[in-house]
Structure 1
Amino acid sequence: MRKGNSLAMYLINLSVGDLLYILTLPVWIIMALGYPVNDCLCSIIAVVMYNSFYVGSGFLCCISMDRYLAIAFPLHFDKVREVRTAAQVSAVVWLLEIVLHFSLRAYTGDIWYFCSHRICDARIPMSRKVGHEAIIRAVTGFLIPVLIMTFCFLEIIRALRKSTSTVVSERMKIWFLLLSLLFIYLVSFTPFQVVMFLRGLLEPDNCSAAKNMKDLYMVFVATTTINSVLDPIIYCLISESAKMEMRKLFSNCKKQISRMSMSIVKP
């Protein structure tokens, strides 16, 4: 980011979203083991987890747009791709997600009874308002980002095919990265979002539909962790600069361990 790389700003924010998601996992594990959890903590971890889903989608869109502008229009949009602009866009993404989330919670009534409602407990069957929330979330937080990312990736591939300056190895590397990102995102979130959309349509006031989809919902909530696991590998370990930084880190650690071992061995 200090080198003026706007992509780094989006990656940092994406990492923050993933870390927030990961921080909720110990509490979910405690509840899965049958231990009691405070009502307020229960609601907080649910809000943080579901927020991280959609914040991540927003920053994946930002990353896609950033790469699209850099490759398709390399001589234009310099100001749009500045770190300062990326910081402003990141702030807007967080603000929009928070406002949308609280608006939907206000619509369902959960925000007024935040602690007593225990948002982390899946209510079966859904109420009509919660069903509407699920449908809105699936469309705005998943379908629209997928369409944006797909458009950007297709345009990037088209621009690379026309480019004579990009060598074949670099072209293949970019294609592999883009396809990996889209594939991982779809595998991680499509099952969960499809189930949530169907629950929003079919489940309100319908106990049989709720029972049929309960197990699918629980399984596909768990599969969303795939995205947080693979994000660091795809975004960092494929990058040559990131590999260099990792080598430096391991080299420094090796030197420090060597010095410590020598000091211990000396009489």
Structure 2
Amino acid sequence: MDNITLFANQSDCFVGDSPSRRRPFLFLYLAVIIIAIPSNAFSLYVSWQHIRRKNELGVYVFNLALSDLIFTVSLSLWLDFLWRGVWVHGGYVCVLSISFLFTNFYTSDALLCCIAVDRYLAVVHPMKYTSLRKVGTAAVVSVGIWVLVVCFNATTITWKDSYYETKKFSVCFDIFRPLSENAARANVVRFFLGFVVPVLLVIFSTWGICMAVRSNKATEEQERKGILRLLAVVLLCLLFCFGPVHIMMLLRTLVHDCRKVAKLLYPYKISIAISSLNCLADPVLYCFVTRTGQANVNQIVLFFQGKTRSQDDSIV
């Protein structure tokens, strides 16, 4: 297992990775865990306060933070896998951990899409679709997203495509055998419904808002910039965090030869690592891009500054 090796027969294809190539991923995931858990916990708290004030945007941000927290906690299993070089938690936990990964993918991009559409309705049709911009509606939509994503993952993530075990070693997810028909179809659906459609909806929402704020003289310059900055970050999250991994999914679906599939190992792992940065981008989306989020961050900073000053005064 110290060097990159390829084990292949008629039905299996496994690529063993070296410790030196696993190490960067280990450090990256550790950094994601350390930063994402407190930042998403803070987003949960702040968004809950906005839900109590009947702000529908808080519902989507709350569910984003919840999805990121669940995935970030499950990253500890991947850290252990990267450290050992073998998966020691069995097939059921392997399938569950992959389900957490894909659930985070598609709840995140669906909720980001909801945020973009919500801002589009608020700016372009402020009086027409008010019923769609209520906390109750946002809650129903969020629950629907969770249910659809979990059910889709439950029917498409299989033991065969997730877990590989012999007497000497076992691996989870790093199984680069040609995909089964079920997994190949699932990847095509993920690419179009889970990536292309959300990106197109966000682009449409951004374009519609740009047209509306240009013609609306009453919209304040600061508010206009804030809305467009929010949607720009949403689009960047979708393209940067989820674009590479969905392209790699599609490539895996199109390639059937074992040795050609094996060459996709490292690029695919890099794309998965990039997608994990979504857990850091979502808190930034709310806390540093929206006006309310900035105010909350400023309050926290002022609180700690006041605490530091009082401690300094007591020392003097």
Task: Name the structure 1 match of 2:60.
Answer: 10
255 and 183 in structure 1: CA distance in 2 versus 1, 3 angstrom threshold? closer
Instruction: Note if 1:92 corresponds to 2:141.
Output: no
Q: Deviations over 1:206-231 (max 9, x none)?
A: 11320221111011111112222122
Matched, 1:151 2:204: yes
Q: Is the 8 A contact 1:10 1:59 kept in 2?
A: yes
Tell me whether 160-169 or 170-179 shows the greater mean CA deviation: 170-179
Q: Equivalent residues in 2 for 1:1-267 (5 A)?
A: 1-34=51-84, 36-39=87-90, 40-105=92-157, 109-110=158-159, 120-129=172-181, 130-203=183-256, 206-255=257-306
Q: Any stretches of 5+ residues in structure 1 without a counterpart?
A: none
CA distance in 2, matches of 1:110, 1:26: 20
Larger mean Cα displacement after TM superposition, 41-50 or 62-71: 41-50
**Alpha-carbon contact 1:188-1:223 (below 8 Å) kept:** yes
Gaps of 5+ in 2: 1-50
Return the TM-score normalized by structure 2: 0.74
User: How many residues get paired?
Assistant: 259
Deviating more after overlay: 36-45 vs 53-62: 36-45
- Match of 1:231, SS state, is helix
Query: More displaced, 46-55 or 131-140?
Result: 131-140
Q: Helix, strand or coil: the match of 2:130?
A: coil
Q: Is the 8 A contact 1:131 1:200 kept in 2?
A: yes
Structure 1 residue 150 displacement after superposition = 1.4
Please give the secondary structure, in 1, of the residue aligned with 2:218. coil
TM-score by length of 1: 0.86
Percent identical among aligned pairs is 26
Runs of 4+ in 1 over 3 A off after TM superposition: 113-120, 250-263
For the residue of structure 2 that corresponds to 1:244, the secondary structure is: helix
CA distance in 2, matches of 1:125, 1:153: 40
Q: How many Å apart are 1:254 and its aligned residue?
A: 4.7
